[in-house]
Amino acid sequence: MAEQPSGAPRAADADFDRLNRDWYIDKAVQLLVFIGGISAIVFIIGIFVFISREGFGFLFGAFDFREFFFSPNWRPTSETKETYGILALIAGTASVTGLAMLIAIPFSLGAAIFIAEFASGKTREFLKITVELLAAIPSVVWGFIGLAIMNPIIIKTFNVPVGLNVLNAGVILGLMAAPIMTSIAEDALKAVPDRYREAAEAMGATRWQVIWKVVLPAAKNGLLGAVLLGVGRGFGETMAVLMATGHSINIPTSVFDSVRALTATIAAELGETAAGSTHYQALFTIGIFLFVVTFVINLAADLVVRGVRKG
Amino acid sequence: MFEATELNRRNALRQKLFRAGLGTMTGLLILPVALILGTLIYKGAPVISFEFLFTGPTNGMTAGGIFPALLGTVLLVVVALLASVPLGVAAAIYLSEYAPDNWFTRAINLAIINLAGVPSIVHALFGVGAFVIFFKFGTSILAASLTLAIMTLPVVIVATRESLQAVPMAFREACWNMGATRWQTIRRVVLPNAITGILTGVILEVSRTAGETAPIMFTGAAFFLPLLPQSVFDQTMALSLHLFVVSTQVPGMPEHLPFGVALVLIAMVLLMNSLSIALRMYLRGKKKW
Amino acid sequence: MVKLGVRDLAIRYGGAKALEGVSFDVHENEIFGIIGPANAGKTSFLKAVNRMDLFDPAMHVDGEITFNGVNVHKVRNVYGLRRRIGVVFPLPVGLPLSIYDNVALAPRLAGVRARAELDVIVERCLQRAALWDEVKDRLNSLGSMLSGGQQQRLTIARALSQDPEMLMLDEFSIAVDPVTTMRIEDVLKELKREVTIILVTNLVQQARRLADRTAFFLEGRCVEVGETEALFNDGVQDPRTRDYIEGRFG
């Protein structure tokens, strides 16, 4: 028999064109991973479908567009007339998120610039790890911090009767969102090619001039994406806001007012409702609203950040 | 000729101030958190003991330990992992090894990003509508874990996909040229070199799952249960929910107890994350090509 | 006997033509050389033979290639086809497995499990690839950490471990030093008794040393095919071939 290069005798010229076990296994794996691949799409659609399913009764029943979006009266358990206006809730979410961004944006930008442009070696490593660990703290722990630590501090420092308010939740949310925003902003700054910096320095610019005039403008897409992501996070945050904002449903006029956020309302009231009741369905409708808003914000953030990776 | 001019001196000063200012800002971001963590440790440490971790609550939940909650969290995490890791790894393999560069793949990636951005309470609503009601699992470990699994799926997918894509194309082509099927190539060359990356993602998922409260609140976790769960169709206690309730809804709660619970939870999460970071750093040193 | 038949082969990437109107036969147990300047379509030709075009959505192949008389485009189990054909590319690739596992991979895929049998195959292939002496004491070390020249010989050992009927080498000596090149050339001369060899090379003299017949590819066409001796000794049909051989361009 003819000998083969490996030393084993060569089989008779059997046809190689048979569909064997390996071929079938490969096809099966292809199918399985495809199912895995589309699962994300299935789940996103599924989320929308199932929350709509529970909320539809309200949407096609007691829902009144003008009342829902423009009335601050959220009184689903009223004995006289139930009203389902979420304006105050939107104001609660917006005020807390707004304050949080006011705090988080400058600090995370500053920290990002420091880490990306000035820190090096061990310091940089240490800071990046710290930021990563900070981002991992669960939201219920942040809520607890707002309740147990920030609350007494606010009462004592500002001499107000209640420490669970926009200020408390805003600071907490700011501290929560800042690490993630810092990471993304730092990525955006690092993505600016070194040759931009080198060109500016060759012209005699100082470090801060390079950053201010060259790096920041070049990274603005990524930085904007970081901000959007922070806003999205603030909008969707549940536990921390639930525990730190107090329980009054009203449009806030000062940072010391207690408010209620959209997310917190669902969390606080769902357990008390009967499945299928109008109140229950209205809460699901708030969920639909939250889903759509955060979907849009995250879509925008991704489009903006994607622009950075390509450029 | 090259002496510092007045302009240079001013610029140098401004630069120093700038750097100091930024450094301070970074410090200000970290410092409050350090203080907060310090307070947690200071107020919570007295409560931590062997009994605290391994016995159950007593006296109307105002004393005793947190064992059922700890156990519950572990159960929820394990079941969630069982559901999400195979699915997430499969999805990542599809995206890294099979998916063509077209609109459909972009849609999948978009869905993953959005899945990660859905508010946790909306995941809770989905869990109620889908698993508790539609699939009739009732409020159970199963419903809660599946809700958690879908919520943390993106973490596994992204970590796995990145570690798969880090394997150079040349290795795959060498195998294909030898007549290996795609799966054989993945199984023997690509996947083994991505395992540590996958592990990093799994650890991250564990840490996130353990800390979540809203998704389990209405799908399977309860505050006061007299018995430990006997099957996945039972409810369970959970550490995150326990913290929420002891700090907001139990009258007569001694001050240190919630701090103790918070300390255990945060220690658990930070430990997991540190493990993941350490694994990543170890990976970086071990080059295989 | 015709091992590989090529009829009117045309290859394009999207709208760009890489090869056109190529026809020739490769006979069993010969060394068939392909020479020509860069971008003449030589590598595309090799890819079309073992159906690696399936992995490139932009690559379109028209015409007919037959292997053992079977049209490679009509083959159902494309993996079986690829197992019969070993390929060595210009850039060496050591898989991130142990050296032993690198060479044992193909036999394992073919179903060989017995350790004793694999030992024999691994040693034989590494000997043939002129690598055994250098690595025999460290078969467990990573193949991807060897030097470039060693990785290239490892690639050749892997190709041999497939027990291929045909071996295609694409400019294998680029990453290899001249001494090792000589050793491998000796191996190829031996191998042709068992294996059909297609040798794509930009070293005209290498073709002269090794190839029985040689084809000259230029700008996507096969200009000429003939007995190597004839091509180098004024039996050339086409003036462009003579110009290339004599080094006037390329």
pLDDT interval class at A5 (50, 70, 90): low
**pLDDT tens-digit map of A115-167:** 888 888 888 888 889 898 899 999 999 999 999 989 999 999 988 888 899 99
**pLDDT tens-digit map of C139-171:** 999 999 998 889 999 999 999 999 999 999 999
Closest listed residue to residue B267, CA positions, set B110, B45, B80: B45
Contact A230, A177 (CB under 8 A): yes
Task: Give the domain CATH number at C77.
Answer: 3.40.50.300
Contact: A267, B126; criterion CB under 8 Å: no
**pLDDT tens-digit map of C15-44:** 899 999 999 999 999 999 999 888 788 999
Task: Give the residue on A whose Cα is nearest the Cα of C125.
Answer: A6
State mean pLDDT over A187-197.
88
**pLDDT tens-digit map of B220-265:** 988 888 888 888 899 999 999 999 998 888 777 888 889 999 999 9
B15 CB neighbours in chain A (<8 A) are 206-208
Is C107 domain-assigned? no
B139 CB neighbours in chain A (<8 A) are none
Contact: A18, C68; criterion CB under 8 Å: no
Domain ranges of chain B: 6-47, 51-285
| Mutation for C interface: A1, A3, A4, A6, most C CBs within 10 A | A6
Contact: A115, B26; criterion CB under 8 Å: yes
- The tally of CA atoms less than 13 A away on the side-chain side of residue C177 is 7
Identify which of C77, C125, C194 has the shortest CB distance to residue A16. C77
Contact: A295, B29; criterion CB under 8 Å: no
Closest listed residue to residue C222, CA positions, set C80, C92, C63: C63
pLDDT at C100 over 70: yes
pLDDT at A44 over 70: yes
B176 CB neighbours in chain A (<8 A) are none
Q: Please give, rounded to a whole number of angstroms, the shortest distance from the CA of B121 to a CA of chain A.
A: 6
Is residue A81 within 8 angstroms of chain C, CB to CB? Answer: no
Is residue A18 within 8 angstroms of chain C, CB to CB? Answer: yes
| Mutation for A interface: C1, C70, C77, C84, most A CBs within 10 A | C77
Contact A268, A242 (CB under 8 A): yes
What's the domain count of chain C? Answer: 1
Neighbours of chain A (3+ CB pairs under 8 A): B, C
**pLDDT tens-digit map of A278-290:** 889 999 999 999 9
Contact: C109, B184; criterion CB under 8 Å: yes
Interface A-C: count of C-beta contacts within 8 A: 52
**Helical ranges in chain B per DSSP H:** 6-44, 50-54, 67-93, 103-117, 120-127, 141-165, 169-177, 182-185, 195-211, 214-217, 239-248, 256-285
- DSSP labels for chain A? --B-TTSSBPPP---S----HHHHHHHHHHHHHHHHHHHHHHHHHHHHHHHHHHHHHHHTTT--HHHHHH---EETT-SS--EE--HHHHHHHHHHHHHHHHHHHHHHHHHHHIIIII--HHHHHHHHHHHHHHHTS-HHHHHHHIIIIIHHHHHHHHT-S---SHHHHHHHHHHHHHHHHHHHHHHHHHTS-HHHHHHHHHTT--HHHHIIIIIHHHTHHHHHHHHHHHHHHHHH--HHHHHHS-S--S--SSTTS----HHHHHHHHGGGSPTTSHHHHHHHHHHHHHHHHHHHHHHHHHHHHHHHHH-
Identify which of C77, C191, C194 has the shortest CB distance to residue A17. C77
User: Over chain A, what is the mean pLDDT?
Assistant: 86
Q: How many angstroms from the chain centroid is the CA of residue C83?
A: 13
User: What CA–CA distances, in Å, run from C111 to A110, C104, C105, C108?
Assistant: 60, 11, 10, 5
Task: Give the residue on A whose Cα is nearest the Cα of B9.
Answer: A206
Domain ranges of chain A: 83-310
pLDDT interval class at B157 (50, 70, 90): very high
What percentage of chain A has pLDDT greater than the value 90? Answer: 41
pLDDT at B169 over 70: yes
**pLDDT tens-digit map of B205-232:** 999 999 999 999 999 988 888 888 888 8
Contact: C162, B178; criterion CB under 8 Å: yes
CB atoms inside a 10 Å sphere around CB B287: 10
Is C25 domain-assigned? yes
| Mutation for B interface: A42, A229, A238, A295, most B CBs within 10 A | A238
Can you give the pLDDT at residue A307?
61
pLDDT at A1 over 80: no
The CATH-assigned architecture of domain A83-310 is Orthogonal Bundle (1.10)
Contact: C77, A18; criterion CB under 8 Å: yes
Cβ-based neighbours of A165, under 8 Å, separated by 6 or more? A154, A245, A246, A252, A255, A256, A257, A258, A259
Can you give the pLDDT at residue A160?
87
Residue that wins the pLDDT comparison between C175 and A91? A91
For B64, the enclosing helix (H) or strand (E) is strand B63-64
Contact: A294, B134; criterion CB under 8 Å: no
CB atoms inside a 10 Å sphere around CB A221: 19
Please give the backbone phi and psi of residue A190, each rounded to the nearest 5 degrees, phi first.
Answer: -65, -25
Full domain range(s) for residue C34: 2-94+167-245
Contact B68, B75 (CB under 8 A): no
Closest listed residue to residue B77, CA positions, set B200, B201, B203, B199: B203
Checking DSSP bridges between strand C196-200 and strand C166-170, what pairing results, if any?
Answer: parallel
Contact: A5, C191; criterion CB under 8 Å: yes
**pLDDT tens-digit map of C186-243:** 989 988 899 999 999 988 899 999 999 999 998 888 888 888 888 888 777 788 888 8
Is residue A123 within 8 angstroms of chain B, CB to CB? Answer: no
Is residue A21 within 8 angstroms of chain C, CB to CB? Answer: no
Residue that wins the pLDDT comparison between A41 and A250? A41
A16 CB neighbours in chain B (<8 A) are none
ipTM value greater than 0.90: yes
pLDDT at A2 over 60: no
Can you give the pLDDT at residue A309?
46
Interface A-B: count of C-beta contacts within 8 A: 257
Contact: A22, C120; criterion CB under 8 Å: no
Side by side, the strands of the sheet bearing C196-200 are C85-88, C166-170, C196-200, C31-35, C213-218, C221-227
**pLDDT tens-digit map of A229-241:** 899 988 989 999 9
**pLDDT tens-digit map of A121-135:** 888 888 889 898 899
> What whole-number distance in Å separates Cα of residue A75 and Cα of residue A77?
6
User: Over chain C, what is the mean pLDDT?
Assistant: 90
Is residue C68 within 8 angstroms of chain A, CB to CB? Answer: yes
Question: How big is chain A, counted in residues?
Answer: 311
Is residue A3 within 8 angstroms of chain C, CB to CB? Answer: yes
Is residue C85 within 8 angstroms of chain A, CB to CB? Answer: no
Rounded to the nearest 5 degrees, what angle is found at the Cα of A179, between the Cα atoms of A177 and A183?
120
Can you give the pLDDT at residue B28?
81
Closest listed residue to residue A206, CA positions, set C105, B14, B190: B14
Looking at C81-85, C98-102, C173-177, which range is the least confident one? C173-177
Q: Please give, rounded to a whole number of angstroms, the shortest distance from the CA of C104 to a CA of chain A.
A: 11
Residue that wins the pLDDT comparison between C226 and B12? C226
Can you give the pLDDT at residue A11?
47
Is C127 domain-assigned? no
pLDDT at A308 over 50: no
Contact: A136, B217; criterion CB under 8 Å: no
pLDDT at A182 over 70: yes
Is residue B270 within 8 angstroms of chain A, CB to CB? Answer: yes
| B96, burial (CB in 10 Å: exposed 0-12, middle 13-18, buried 19+) | buried
Residue that wins the pLDDT comparison between B37 and A2? B37
C86 CB neighbours in chain B (<8 A) are 178
User: What CATH class has B51-285?
Assistant: mainly alpha
C195 CB neighbours in chain A (<8 A) are 5
Q: Please give, rounded to a whole number of angstroms, the shortest distance from the CA of B161 to a CA of chain C.
A: 19
pLDDT interval class at A94 (50, 70, 90): very high
Is C157 domain-assigned? no
Is C183 domain-assigned? yes
Which B residues, 64 through 123, put their C-beta within 8 Å of a C-beta on chain A? 86-95, 97-99, 107-108, 110-115, 117-123
